Amino acid sequence: MLPVQAILNRVNPKDLIQIYGLTEFNTVQEFLTLIAKRFGKINKGGRLNLEASAKKVLHDWNCGKLKYYTIPPEKLTSTIDVKLVNEIAKEFDLNDMVTYEQMMDENLEQFNIPIEDSFAIKTIVTEIQTNEDDVCMEQQQQTNDPSVNQSS
């Protein structure tokens, strides 16, 4: 019922009356009752099937049978000003970036880390990863090898 209520809030009731050939209505319940009577949406025992009526209205809405027009909003004026710049902003100054990198290099030199040590650490990590990869490959080959007898 809520989706039909939303449609009724948007579409002019006179348009609905004309499209469906209905009489005046005031509520969603009345509207769905009129739709059920008009299109024969009746359950066993002669009860009106309001759910089927609601589905028909939603179907008509989705298929475009019910037209809905809105006035587009007025064009808002932009609060952002456009201006041409003759120089790059401070955040994009490459000279400042080079100066910053030099300062960082000088700070790192305080720690006296020899270059050879950093390469040794990288080499050890690479060897460990290689050994782990070899073990994984061996395990995978053993599980995929059809000649290995597996007990069931």
Mean pLDDT of 74-93: 68
Residue 17 pLDDT > 80, yes or no?
A: yes
Domain ranges of the chain: 2-63, 90-141
Distance CA 25, CA 13 (A): 8
- What integer pLDDT is reported at residue 63 of this predicted model? 86
- What integer pLDDT is reported at residue 126 of this predicted model? 55
Q: Within 10 Å of residue 11's Cβ, how many Cβ atoms?
A: 17
What predicted TM-score, i.e. pTM, was given to this entire model?
Answer: 0.46
Tokens representing 107 are 């700070």
CATH number (1.10.1580.10, 3.30.1280.10, 3.40.50.150, 3.10.150.10) of 2-63 reads 1.10.1580.10
Backbone φ and ψ for 58, nearest 5 degrees, come out as -65, -40
* CA distances in angstroms from 142 to 1, 3, 14, 132, listed in the order given: 63, 61, 78, 16
- What integer pLDDT is reported at residue 66 of this predicted model? 83
* CA distances in angstroms from 11 to 30, 52, 98, 109, listed in the order given: 16, 20, 64, 74
Tell me: the pLDDT tens digits for 69-82?
A: 666 677 776 666 66
Tell me: the pLDDT tens digits for 26-45?
A: 999 999 999 999 999 999 88
Are the C-beta atoms of residues 66 and 84 closer than 8 Å to each other? no
Tell me: the pLDDT tens digits for 99-144?
A: 777 777 777 777 666 555 555 455 555 555 566 666 666 666 666 6
Residue 12 pLDDT > 50, yes or no?
A: yes
Mean pLDDT score across all residues of the chain:
76
Mind spelling out the 3-state secondary structure of 3-41? HHHHHHHHCCHHHHHHHHCCCCCCCHHHHHHHHHHHHCC
Residue 55 pLDDT > 80, yes or no?
A: yes
